[in-house]
Amino acid sequence: MSSTRIGIVIPCFNEEETLDQTAETVGEQLRDLIDAEEIEVGSFVCFVDDGSRDGTWKKIEEWTSKGTLYRGVKLSRNVGHQRALLAGLMSMRDEAEALVSMDADLQDPAHTIPLFVNAYLDGNEVVYGVREDRSSDSGFKRGTAEFFYRLMRKLGVDIVPNHADCRLLGPRALDALSLFDEANLFLRGIVPLIGYPSTRIYYKRDARLAGETKYPLRKMLAFAWDGVTSFSTKPLGFIMWLGFFVCLASFAVGGWVAYTWVEGQAIPGWTSMLLPLLFIGGVQLLCTGVIGQYLGKIYQEVKHRPRYFIEKRI
Ligand code: UDP
Ligand code: MG
């Protein structure tokens, strides 16, 4: 008998069309693993209803009445994918040893569950699911996603390319995650900060089971911007450098303006207007940049992120 209890956490927002098939498929995978004695009998799927306005919760209730394999958590209102997922992970963290998160539309296919479990049993604390093949996505989504991952890397944020929120977290990773209390959640940026032995599994991203995406372009852009501003202070540094160069340029132009004045080629009033204008513009931008640097520090401090996690002591 295995003593590893696994929980699958699935945030759902208006997913009544996909829920039955998802519950069926994921449940089947779990039952197979339980039968093969790879995981404990008490392993389960937990659906988190993120304030759905359709029959999602009713469906979840139906499934939970079928036995202990299914569980449900209902949030008081819609809080968004990231927070709904965190709510599921944190409320199930004492109920299982390791938790796998997946989307309700099975775009990250359920047959990966045994791969996650095996990678965990091999000693990995974090297992990242990576979409190797995004041919089921539109060209636009693929392009913007690629640009986003590249931008994040440039900004010095350590994220796993093409990894969304399909991953396994072991008990130590879940403990670590609970210590991040930032309000602007961007889980795929936080998880790599946790460390511990980790691995990746690769799969083909399927098309959505049914229904439509809950991430229209507007939400996608807001999410990407959240990712940038929650993890990088480089844009602030950029303002400072910009200020510095504008200052330099204004001194150079200032020199030339002064020269034309000395030479007597300047129209009266031109020099006295242009010089302060250039100078003040540059100095202002530079000062904004310097303030930005302090702001960046304050921002790092108020996050109260944990500074380290100990893996072993001997
Ligand atoms: N989701 C959620 N709350 C929201 C939006 C989405 O819980 O406010 C869930 C949704 O039900 C799904 C997952 O987040 O399980 C990913 O959403 P979706 O598949 O629509 O995003 P996409 O795959 O198109 O990026
Ligand atoms: Mg999806």
What does the alpha-carbon distance between residue 15 and residue 52 come to, in Å, rounded to a whole number? 8
Paired with 203 in beta bridges are 131
Domain boundaries, the chain: 6-212, 234-303
> Quick one: 6-212 is in which CATH superfamily?
Spore Coat Polysaccharide Biosynthesis Protein SpsA; Chain A (3.90.550.10)
**pLDDT (tens place) for every residue of the chain, 314 residues total:** 678 999 999 999 999 999 999 999 999 999 999 999 999 999 999 999 999 999 999 999 999 999 899 999 999 999 999 999 999 999 999 999 999 999 999 988 999 999 999 999 999 999 999 988 777 778 888 888 888 889 888 888 888 988 989 999 999 999 999 999 888 889 999 999 999 999 999 998 888 888 888 888 888 888 888 888 888 888 888 888 888 888 888 888 888 888 888 888 878 887 788 878 888 888 888 898 899 999 999 988 898 999 999 998 99
pLDDT (0 to 100) of residue 184: 86
Closest to 116 (Cα-Cα) out of 106, 107, 131, 129: 129
Residue 269 near residue 136, CB atoms below 8 Å = no
- Predicted confidence at residue 263, as pLDDT, reads 87
Ligand 2 center to residue 182 CA distance, Å?
25
Secondary structure in 3-state letters for 28-70? HHHHHHHHCCCCCCCCEEEEEECCCCCCHHHHHHHHHCCCCCE
Pocket of ligand 1 (CB under 6 A): 11-13, 15, 50, 78, 80-81, 84, 103-105, 107, 213-215
pLDDT of residue 281: 83
Q: What is the pLDDT of residue 1?
A: 63
Q: Which ligand approaches the C-alpha of residue 56 most closely?
A: 1
Atom 24 of ligand 1, nearest CA residue: 213
What residues does the ion ligand 2 have nearby, CB within 5 Å?
103, 105, 107
